[in-house]
Amino acid sequence: MSHAVAALIPDDGPPTILAGCLVRAMHKFIIMGAQGCGKGTQAKLLKQDFDLVHISVGDIFRWHIQSHTKLAARIKRLIAAGHMVDDDVVADIVQQRLAEHDWNYGFILDGFPRTRTQAEFFLESYDIDAVIFIDVADEIVFERVLARRMCGQCGLDFNLIHHRPAEPDKCDVCGGTLVARDDDNPDAIRARLSDYRNKTEPILELFRRKELVIQTDGSQSAAVIQADIRRQLKLPVDTAAEPKQVEG
């Protein structure tokens, strides 16, 4: 693409018709909220309708654990105890992922930044359009997270509240046994919430000062939350589909 043409492509707003071709807008979002607030579900809905790359730090961590990489043991130990992975490790993982530059129409970053240091690093390196904050009470977090299940065979996520399997404790797709994640226990949830309230929530003020934050009520249904997010971001609302599950 020539520099002259590239200069005409908008950074935000609706798709533009350029020389008879449809040019999609670029969107770069961060999605934040406590575990169980529905970040994963909302990110996937935005991804599928706006061709965004969903970069989930939690998914990257789980890949390391499943692949038995050098980082796996360290990540597994910290996550099981409900602690955050070290700032430098997370920042390096995110930097490497974004450096792949496979996000032609943008990305939605889920699970980063978690601390002020990470937020400052990110703002120095990337321009973002908005920070989507899903606010949810602690009691709802406990209810949702303790209801999460994962297929031990194919890794598909279920939730006993919103996305029950057709047959109890059995994956609808591969028939594998559903299990709770090691870190989905009351002590680990309590520790993660404490870390979140003390370290992550305060960085919202940094983003608010830059007028980047939109906030939505995470206690509502996933479809209502998605519609509210799109209205605030001035994105088309009528393409939103009813999701089947609620994730972190």
Q: Per residue of the chain (248 residues), give pLDDT as tens.
A: 333 333 333 444 445 444 444 456 899 999 999 988 999 899 999 999 999 999 998 888 888 888 888 888 888 888 777 677 887 788 888 888 888 888 889 999 998 888 888 898 888 888 999 999 999 999 999 999 999 999 988 988 898 987 899 999 999 999 999 999 888 899 989 988 998 888 888 899 999 999 999 999 999 999 999 999 999 999 998 654 444 444 55
User: And the tokens for 90?
Assistant: 């997370």
* Residue 144 a catalytic site member: no
| pLDDT tens digits along 217-232 | 999 999 999 999 999 9
- Active-site residue, from 74, 116, 181, 199: 181
Tell me how many degrees the CA angle 131-133-139 measures, rounded to the nearest 5.
160
- Active-site residue, from 47, 114, 144, 149: 114
Does 89 fall in a domain? yes
Name the β-bridge partners of 53: 107
- The confidence score (pLDDT) of residue 79 equals 74
Q: What is the CATH number of the domain that holds 14?
A: 3.40.50.300
For 216, the domain range is 3-137+184-233
- SS3 of residue 186 by DSSP: helix
Does 15 fall in a domain? yes
The position carrying tokens 């949810």 is: 136
* Residue 114 a catalytic site member: yes
| pLDDT tens digits along 1-16 | 333 333 333 444 445 4
* Residue 190 a catalytic site member: no
* Residue 39 a catalytic site member: yes
Does 95 fall in a domain? yes
- The confidence score (pLDDT) of residue 18 equals 43
Does 81 fall in a domain? yes
Does 25 fall in a domain? yes
- Active-site residue, from 47, 97, 192, 230: 192
- Active-site residue, from 44, 144, 148, 230: 148
Does 153 fall in a domain? no
Does 42 fall in a domain? yes
Q: Which stretches does DSSP call E strand in the chain?
A: 16-18, 21-23, 27-32, 53-56, 106-110, 130-135, 148-151, 157-159, 178-179, 213-217
- Active-site residue, from 39, 44, 62, 97: 39
Closest CA to 12 of 70, 52, 68, 58: 52
pTM: 0.76
* Residue 192 a catalytic site member: yes
- The confidence score (pLDDT) of residue 7 equals 34
- The confidence score (pLDDT) of residue 24 equals 67
Does 30 fall in a domain? yes
Cα 197 from Cα 56, distance rounded (Å) = 20
Tell me how many domains the chain contains. 1
